[in-house]
């Protein structure tokens, strides 16, 4: 690992742990994802005050974070856009880099601590899978050149018509091989879905062989979300990348405080819920 890579990783991880709050959902072009993000400037201001380890955002909103001079979370910048999250089934599934010629130029200009890209596995859609592999190859080359950590998000997606359109699956037998592939392609950080059985998540961590952050997915009841988060940390997770499970709750700042207690202080789910309730 390059020295500059380690420097950026140190900005993202504190004692090996990280809470990355994702508010990059506007790029999905899906209205439901924007509930709670309508006033993106206000959301960013509140999150910066809450002090998670990192905030994940797209290039067009990164200035809201990086214009702050002091005591701000690290920037994780998304590099790709696609149509895998839309409710309707598309005739053509695709995922492309914002800038395929200079894929991390924007991240360097905005002083990001890491970049993130998807690795979609969707039944009967080999084209989008190939696009993702090609995206990762371009990013890995650029990240090696400039010392930028690469976070890969391997997602085992459901076929259209099975539950939420293209919703992700928690099948450990499918997650583990895809996570292993992401590592083989050069991931410095893995962002993976939780397994259906939380006690299986250690297998994901073992396959990753690098810091493994848990993807939050759709908004859930806060008590169970916090309990599950604590259980996943006990399975070896290095932290969380939560979006809707932060910004769609009534008090996102308190959610951040509760999650930070789990990730950095080893708080239990019930203890974290009490932290949230006490404010």
Q: What is the pLDDT of residues 52-94, one digit of tens each?
A: 999 999 999 999 999 999 899 999 999 999 999 887 778 899 9
Across the chain, mean pLDDT equals 94
Residue ranges of E strands in the chain: 18-22, 54-57, 74-78, 80-82, 95-97, 114-121, 150-156, 189-192, 212-215, 239-242
For 74, residues 6+ apart whose C-beta sits below 8 A from its C-beta are 11, 12, 53, 54, 55, 112, 113, 114
| pLDDT of 207 | 98
Lowest mean pLDDT among 42-46, 71-75, 157-161: 157-161
- Whether 102 has a pLDDT exceeding 80, the answer reads yes
Q: Which CATH class is domain 3-212?
A: alpha beta
> What is the C-alpha to C-alpha distance for residues 31 and 86, in angstroms, rounded to an integer?
9
* DSSP string for residues in 79-122: -EEESTT-SSPPSS--EEES-SSSTTHHHHHTT-SEEEEEEEE-
Q: Measured over all CA atoms, what is the biggest interatomic distance in the chain, rounded to whole angstroms?
A: 49
CA 210 and chain centroid, separation: 15
CA distance 105 to 79: 10
Q: What is the pLDDT of residues 243-270, one digit of tens each?
A: 999 999 999 999 999 999 999 999 999 9
Share of the chain above pLDDT 70, in %: 96
Q: What's the gap between Cα 54 and its chain centre?
A: 10
pLDDT of residue 154: 98
Instruction: Supply the pLDDT for residue 4.
Output: 63
């Amino acid at each position: 690992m390059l020295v500059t890579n380690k420097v950026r990783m140190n900005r993202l991880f504190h004692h090996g742990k990280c809470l990355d709050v994702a508010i990059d959902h506007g790029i999905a072009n899906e209205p439901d994802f924007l509930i709670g993000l309508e006033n993106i400037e206000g959301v960013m201001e509140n999150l910066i005050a809450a002090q998670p380890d990192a905030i994940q955002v797209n290039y067009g909103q990164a200035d809201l974070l990086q214009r702050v001079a002091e005591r701000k979370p690290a920037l994780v910048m998304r590099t790709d856009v696609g149509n895998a999250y839309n409710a309707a089934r598309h005739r053509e599934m695709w995922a492309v880099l914002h800038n395929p010629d200079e894929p991390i130029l924007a991240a360097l200009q905005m002083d990001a601590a890491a970049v993130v890209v998807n690795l979609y596995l969707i039944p009967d859609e080999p084209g989008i899978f190939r696009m993702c592999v090609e995206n990762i190859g371009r990013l890995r080359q650029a990240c090696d050149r400039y010392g930028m950590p690469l976070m890969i998000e391997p997602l085992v997606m459901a076929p259209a018509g099975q539950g939420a359109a293209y919703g992700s699956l928690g099948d450990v037998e499918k997650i583990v091989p895809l996570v292993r592939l992401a590592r083989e392609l050069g991931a410095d950080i893995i962002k993976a879905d939780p397994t259906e059985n939380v006690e299986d998540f250690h297998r994901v961590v073992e396959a990753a062989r690098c810091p493994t952050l848990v993807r939050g997915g759709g908004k859930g009841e806060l008590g169970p979300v916090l309990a599950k988060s604590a259980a996943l940390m006990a399975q070896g997770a290095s932290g969380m990348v939560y979006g809707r499970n932060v910004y769609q709750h009534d008090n996102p700042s308190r959610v951040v405080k509760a999650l930070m207690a789990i990730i950095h202080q080893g708080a239990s789910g019930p203890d974290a819920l009490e932290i949230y309730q006490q404010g």
